[in-house]
């Protein structure tokens, strides 16, 4: 039985440190019938030269050079040049296991769906993986994306080209942050079921130079714009989706607070900072309702009381991950030489104290009786 052709689309922008490993992981796939489309989006480093050299060694590699237009435009070019029945996306600073393509093709063919998504991927801190696979409704997939149970990006997923062509689905070139979620949400409007896998075959690199890792206030505003566009696209909708969408929108407040603190930009953006803190406190019942994890509910309580300190705690965690990604140790020290984990250990007992001693009536009202019992157990 002949294999269906798969198009692997890889946008490339200033990833000279990573692109060779990425492409080599694709060349070495167990699945044989595929093409690799590399779109050099105006890189100013050696990325373009590296992929040109690699294309000479393997005729499955197609290289396209263009002026910098952003990741959405680059992926659209890849889609337009693709010849495969299936399309998957890989970021240029990531890499995949040798069974990446075959795994996704097996999901597509086993369940007969136009979209397959993977709930797990490898990172520096997460190694979750199992062989579970199953079908869920498109509505459930939409909610899972908004709640973070399925990662929002287009990598670690597969789509039929027919789905994209029949419904004229492309990336919105005006959206550079949240573009993957927008693409996924639009795709899910045109299918009833989605194949879900839980085997980790995709390796996400903690690239500190990536736009995803650097705080940009305008990027967050772009992400919010993406969410507003998504809501207008909804053909499938229910109360669970609306609540999950509201929660994801609400989380941008924390993202902006964290980013402003991490980047030292609070003083120059005081009005934005105050508005986001006000939004966190005003609608604190939303995350306490939506989150299943008591630990995450406790974290939100911390942001309600001391958003600045919680943002500092999160900043230190981010720096620790960056240190690990660079191959450093797992201890991060502050300027005064004290272990950060000892200073900012906002554990359960500290948050309990804050809840008990501050004006958090709305928080306590929003917590379920079961959560209250767990919090105040002696």
**70-122 pLDDT tens trace:** 999 999 999 999 999 999 999 999 999 999 999 999 999 999 999 999 998 76
Angle between helices 348-357 and 294-305 (to 10 degrees): 50
Q: Are residues 243 and 152 in the same domain?
A: no
Q: Are residues 169 and 316 in the same domain?
A: no
Q: Are residues 255 and 364 in the same domain?
A: yes
Query: Could you give the C-alpha distances from 153 to 172, 177, 182, 190, 212, in angstroms and in order?
Result: 14, 10, 9, 18, 11
Q: Are residues 126 and 275 in the same domain?
A: no
Give a yes or no: residue 222 inside a domain: no
Give a yes or no: residue 52 inside a domain: yes
Q: What is the pLDDT of residue 206?
A: 73
Q: 315 lies in which domain range?
A: 238-375
Are 72 and 154 in contact, with CB atoms under 8 Å apart?
Answer: no
Structure tokens at 253: 């407040």
Helices (H), the chain: 19-27, 47-55, 71-81, 100-111, 138-147, 161-166, 179-188, 217-233, 239-263, 270-282, 285-290, 294-305, 307-325, 340-343, 348-357, 361-366, 369-375
For the chain, percent of residues with pLDDT exceeding 70: 80
Residue 264 DSSP label: T
Are 331 and 337 in contact, with CB atoms under 8 Å apart?
Answer: no
Q: Are residues 179 and 295 in the same domain?
A: no
Q: Phi, psi at residue 84, to the nearest 5°?
A: -85, 160
Give a yes or no: residue 228 inside a domain: no
Of 188, 203, 218, which one is at a domain's C-terminal end?
203
Q: What is the pLDDT of residue 257?
A: 95
Q: Are residues 317 and 175 in the same domain?
A: no
Give a yes or no: residue 45 inside a domain: yes
Give a yes or no: residue 273 inside a domain: yes
Q: Are residues 177 and 281 in the same domain?
A: no
Pairing of the two strands 86-89 and 6-12: parallel
Q: Are residues 197 and 253 in the same domain?
A: no
Q: Are residues 286 and 162 in the same domain?
A: no
Q: What is the pLDDT of residue 2?
A: 86
Give a yes or no: residue 226 inside a domain: no
Residue 3 DSSP label: P
Q: What is the pLDDT of residue 371?
A: 60
Q: Are residues 107 and 247 in the same domain?
A: no
Angle between helices 138-147 and 239-263 (to 10 degrees): 20
CATH of the domain at 122: 3.90.550.10
The residues, ordered by sequence, that sit 6+ positions from 237 with a Cβ below 8 Å of its Cβ are none
Structural domains counted in the chain: 2
Give a yes or no: residue 104 inside a domain: yes
Q: Are residues 186 and 335 in the same domain?
A: no
Residues of the chain with pLDDT under 50: 329-347, 349, 357-359, 361, 377-378
């Amino acid at each position: 039985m002949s294999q269906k052709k798969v198009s692997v689309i890889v946008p490339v922008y200033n990833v000279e440190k990573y692109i060779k490993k990425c492409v080599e992981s694709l060349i070495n796939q167990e699945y044989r019938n595929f093409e690799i489309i590399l779109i050099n989006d105006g890189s100013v480093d050696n990325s373009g030269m590296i992929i040109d050299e690699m294309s000479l060694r393997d005729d499955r590699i197609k290289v396209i050079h263009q002026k910098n237009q952003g990741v959405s435009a680059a992926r659209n070019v890849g889609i337009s040049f693709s010849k495969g029945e299936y399309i998957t996306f890989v970021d240029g600073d990531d890499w995949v296991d040798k069974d990446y393509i075959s795994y996704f093709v097996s999901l597509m063919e086993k369940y007969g769906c136009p979209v397959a998504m993977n709930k797990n991927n490898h990172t520096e801190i997460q190694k979750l993986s199992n062989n579970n696979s199953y079908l869920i409704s498109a509505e459930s997939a939409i909610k899972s994306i908004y709640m973070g149970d399925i990662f929002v990006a287009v990598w670690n997923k597969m789509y039929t080209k027919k789905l994209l062509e029949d419904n004229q689905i492309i990336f919105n070139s005006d959206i550079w942050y949240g573009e993957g979620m927008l693409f996924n949400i639009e795709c899910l409007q045109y299918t009833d079921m989605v194949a879900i896998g839980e085997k980790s075959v995709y390796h996400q690199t903690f690239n500190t130079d990536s736009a995803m890792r650097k705080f940009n206030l305008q990027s967050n505003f772009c992400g919010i714009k993406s969410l507003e566009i998504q809501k207008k696209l909804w053909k499938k909708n229910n109360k669970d989706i609306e609540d999950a969408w509201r929660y994801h929108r609400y989380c941008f407040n924390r993202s902006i607070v964290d980013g402003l603190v991490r980047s030292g930009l609070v003083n120059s953006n005081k009005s934005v900072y105050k508005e986001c803190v006000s939004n966190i406190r005003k609608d604190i019942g939303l995350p306490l309702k939506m989150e299943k994890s008591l630990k995450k509910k406790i974290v939100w309580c911390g942001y309600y009381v001391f958003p600045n300190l919680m943002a500092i705690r999160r900043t230190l965690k981010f720096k620790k991950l960056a240190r690990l990604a660079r191959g450093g140790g797992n201890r991060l020290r502050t300027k005064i030489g004290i272990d950060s984990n000892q200073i900012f250990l906002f554990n359960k007992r500290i948050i309990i104290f804050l809840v008990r001693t501050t004006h958090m009536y709305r928080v306590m009202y929003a917590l379920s009786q079961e959560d209250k019992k767990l919090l105040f157990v002696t």
